[in-house]
Amino acid sequence: MKARETAIVFIEFQNDFCKEGGALYEGVKDQIKAQKTIANAADCLRKARGRCLTLLVPIVFEPEYCDMGCEGVLGPIHQNVVKTRAFRKGTWGAEIIDELKPTDQDIVIEGKRTLDAFHSSNLDFILRVYGIKNVAFCGFLTNVCVEGTARSAYDKGYKVFLLKDCCAALSAEEQKYVEEKFFPYIGEVLTHDEFLARLED
């Protein structure tokens, strides 16, 4: 697999998910610890920089969520974001965590407001500009935004991978479902080291 045709997409590695005091941390903290999600993702990003395209995709809303549209249109997952005051522009919670702080070797994809990162951002444009054919996904939540974005990538013609040790869901059962039941239909499930070992410079 040619490194120059490969990208790794890091979804929602933000304080509200990843750090104590974050709006959504309590729900996912056990799986973050069990999976060693942060340490593995940081290691993956460090090793991948300069070899393949590295993209960080946060989800960020206006402070009072005026960019969510009319009340009642969006479903429970967005309603919970509003209820918990998560991912508000200009807040600590919306910031990318220090362990994955972007450098000039990374691209930060802005505009994500939906579960599928392609739907509300320029992710597809960036991947195509760089001639990317292979895309690996990791982040939060495995069975929500990671799965949704990977499914969309598959439909757009990309070869897709799940970096299972760089993800977290709300439970081990949800994580296992994506790894064993869903993702094998659309791509491969690997650890980050297994994936990086396949890259040819």
pLDDT of residue 71: 60
Q: Read off the tokens for 187.
A: 């791509």
∠ CA 19-27-60, rounded to 5°: 60
Assess contact for 109 and 54: CB atoms under 8 A: no
Report pLDDT digits (tens) over 71-85: 655 788 899 999 999
Question: What does the chain come to in residues?
Answer: 201
Higher pLDDT, 66 or 127: 127
Residue 55 pairs in a beta bridge with 9, 107
Domain boundaries, the chain: 3-197
At 22-49, the pLDDT tens digits run: 999 999 999 999 999 999 999 999 999 9
The whole-angstrom separation of Cα 178 and Cα 174 is 7
How remote is the C-alpha of 16 from its chain's centroid? 14
pTM, two decimals, is 0.96
User: Coil, helix or strand for 166?
Assistant: strand
Per-residue pLDDT reduced to its tens digit, 96-141: 999 999 999 999 999 999 999 999 999 999 999 999 999 999 999 9
Output DSSP code: residue 74: S
pLDDT band at 191 (very low <50, low <70, confident <90, very high): very high
Closest to 135 measured CA to CA, from 175, 70, 195, 80: 195
Q: How confident is the model over 48-61, as pLDDT tens digits?
A: 999 999 999 999 99
Architecture of the domain made up of 3-197:
3-Layer(aba) Sandwich (3.40)
Assess contact for 41 and 139: CB atoms under 8 A. Answer: yes
Residue 32 · residue 42 · CB < 8 Å:
no
